[in-house]
Amino acid sequence: MRLPAALIEEAVQWRRQLHARPELGYQEQTTARFVAEKLRSFGLQVATGLAGTGVIGTLETGPGATIGLRADMDALPITELGDAAWRSQQPGVMHACGHDGHTAMLLASAKWLAQTRRFSGTVHFIFQPAEENLGGARKMVEEGLFQRFPMDGIFALHNWPGLPAGAIAVNSGAMMASLDAFEITLTGKSCHAAMPESGADPLVAAAQLILALQTIPARRLSPLASSVVSVTQIQGGEAINVIPETVTLRGTVRCLQSEVREKVRALVASFVQTLPQPMGVAGAIRWYPGYPVTQNHADAAALIREVAIAQCGAEKVQWQVNPSMASEDFACMLEACPGAYFWLGADGETPSRPLHNASYDFNDALIEHGVAFWQRLVETRLPLAQTAARSA
């Protein structure tokens, strides 16, 4: 059944309204109210307040399994450079990752499924706050998402520049890398820059440490292991003629295998402790909670592939693609519940700007693809035939 044009037009307007009023993680008050009001108007049961601004809409049509569909709602601290009529009205904040589109697609899916009800079972529509670096998915899990709303499976998508619009990519294993952030403090002895022998220079130690850390993926891991160690900030010193007492380095580690993640963290900590010592500098590291590998469950990924082939044809479905070294906190939900995460191609005739780019804008042509996919997934996973089978 083709989706009504009026539904898609309405979803496009929702998307543009959300784009114009972006909100950062855990600040999605206006967005959450908008989502909750729409879900109630569709006749769904609505729960709010999980992880602060999270919203869950529940649609039950009869006996059967229970699944969750998740969309992220937060924006990024970026000043928008685009000139669309719906550009951000909030200085320094914009939807540069397409979460406005994800939210609009899931809302439209909830509305359409509530009208058609061609499935038997329960669907939880999960609108998650704070995906961007703040761990909203983890907080929802910690606050009882799967205890309050038990599920047999959970699914999420992300629009993906670099793939043709409407194409779908999914793996039976890792889709996105783990995320760990670190802060390294190197403490030496301050002295006059003209007399370095009287002190212990943490800047020289920092320079050597930055280069040494790059040998971890290059020389301490198998070429078949996937990892990235990036130092992205260095801070130290106040005057050009003074060697500082301390230097701070910050950065991130990304891995595609849990065992590699553990090994890399141990190696980074070892380098920090031992490499500066001969220079009279002490090193200490602090790790910040990150995300695990976004690891799809095989059966759930196979279901995504099956539905995708039925929807758009095998030629538009990419199976077992190269994972991304970017990260996604939906991984925390996949640790707690079987499910799968996939990419929905975003490139039209003109390729999409990259995610997190100040000139990015969600491709509205994807909304129909996304709504149609969620509809087909629900009707495939929760078929009406279950009712007849149970009563036979």
Binding positions:
97, 99, 132, 158, 356
Cα separation of 253 and 179, whole Å? 6
Cβ atoms 72, 160 nearer than 8 A: no
SS3 1: coil
Strand partners, 66: 122
Cα separation of 112 and 255, whole Å? 38
* Tokens, residue 327: 């990260």
Cα separation of 285 and 130, whole Å? 26
In 189-290, alpha helices (H): 202-213, 215, 258-274
Cα separation of 32 and 104, whole Å? 12
Cα separation of 243 and 277, whole Å? 17
CA-to-CA dists, residue 105 to 8, 43, 111, 214, angstroms: 9, 17, 10, 41
> For residue 14, what are the contacts with CB-CB under 8 A and spacing of at least 6?
34, 38, 103, 104, 107, 108
Cβ atoms 290, 137 nearer than 8 A: no
DSSP percent split of the chain into helix, strand, coil, nearest 5: 40, 30, 35
Q: Which residue bears the tokens 């190696």?
A: 267
SS3 215: helix
Cβ atoms 324, 139 nearer than 8 A: no
Closest to 10 (Cα-Cα) out of 94, 115, 157: 115
* Tokens, residue 150: 């038990």
Binding-site positions for Mn(2+) = 97, 99, 132, 158, 356
First-residue to last-residue Cα distance in the chain: 28
DSSP string, 122-139: EEEEEEES--SSS-HHHH
